[in-house]
Amino acid sequence: MSKLIAEGEDIFLYLDRRRTYLVRVEAGKSFHTHKGYIQLGDLIGKEYGTRITSSMGIEFVALKPNLRDQIFKVKRRTQISYPKDIALIIMFSGIGPGSRVVEAGTGTGALTTALAYYIKPTGRVYTYEVRPEFREMAIKNLERAGVSEYVESKNKDVIEGIDEEEVDAVILDMATPWLVVPHAYSALKGSGVLVSFSPTIDQIVKTVEALKENGFVGIETVETLMRFMQVERGKTRPQTLMTGHTGYITFARKALMQQDS
């Protein structure tokens, strides 16, 4: 992986924790902020982590975007998945390089981006989105993140069925996941994992009931909370504001029926 910034690449331009920008480097282009403008061409050939001064004399740092940066800076029309939830989804799903994963719905592609990042270079994400405008935006976000080649995007309602078979995981972020549970069972390998993200308790009750009725075991539901710390000698304390409830995540694994085993 190159340590030098090349033309056409994205940089994560850092001013402070609250003011960061995902910017594409192009010769002859400038990036304007309330702290002055930066000549992006001046960064070409420089090492990632380079400090650069704006026209107002304010110092920025040109960092290499990581997965978290790409996800938070995607163009969006829907609520994106938070890293705290994405991390747990990926860890509990057991996916990795070479895994085949079904996802619904795509939304803006934040979770899709993370899934594709972890299943590359030999895996595949099959993502279903019923709204074409969301699908088109997600495709652009996946291309910008450099993972589109590992994703097959479908403009289809997953409630009508899942095309794939023998997949490693089915991951649902939709209003009525319980309607997809029978399709997920058919699509999964034995011992494959279903993950469902839902914001309300009513949704998880219906989903868990459907999982029990359709041959899933190891059913667990969790809520993840994350709070940053304000760190300063003599003043260290939890930050007043935090990302609290975003949703509940339900995990389950496919157990084969007696006639299948």
Residue 260's alpha-carbon distances to 169, 180, 190, in angstroms, are 19, 21, 9
What pLDDT score does 17 carry? 84
pLDDT digit string, tens, across residues 64-115: 999 888 888 766 556 668 888 999 999 999 999 999 999 999 999 999 999 9
Q: How confident is the model at residue 260 (pLDDT cuts 50, 70, 90)?
A: low
Q: Mean pLDDT, to the nearest integer, of 173-177?
A: 96
Residue 195's alpha-carbon distances to 11, 136, 184, in angstroms, are 33, 24, 10
Q: Mean pLDDT, to the nearest integer, of 182-206?
A: 97
What pLDDT score does 137 carry? 94
Q: Is the pLDDT of residue 185 over 80?
A: yes
Asked if 107 and 138 touch (Cβ cutoff 8 Å), the reply is yes
What pLDDT score does 2 carry? 66
Q: Which amino acid is at 132?
A: P
What pLDDT score does 82 carry? 84
The two three-digit tokens of residue 12, written as one number: 């994560």
Q: Is the pLDDT of residue 225 over 80?
A: yes
Q: For residues 108 and 157, what is the distance between their CA atoms, to the nearest angstrom? A: 16
pLDDT digit string, tens, across residues 115-141: 999 999 999 999 999 999 999 999 999
What pLDDT score does 258 carry? 72
Q: For residues 118 and 76, what is the distance between their CA atoms, to the nearest angstrom? A: 22
Q: Which amino acid is at 180?
A: V
User: Rounded to 10 degrees, what is the CA torsion of 102, 103, 105, 110?
Assistant: -150
Token look-up 């649902």 returns: 172
What pLDDT score does 77 carry? 57
Percent share of the chain, pLDDT over 90: 84
Task: Tell me the pLDDT of the chain averaged across its residues.
Answer: 93
Q: How confident is the model at residue 61 (pLDDT cuts 50, 70, 90)?
A: very high
Q: Is the pLDDT of residue 40 over 70?
A: yes
pLDDT digit string, tens, across residues 234-243: 999 998 887 7
Domains and CATH numbers, the chain: 10-65 (3.10.330.20), 69-254 (3.40.50.150)
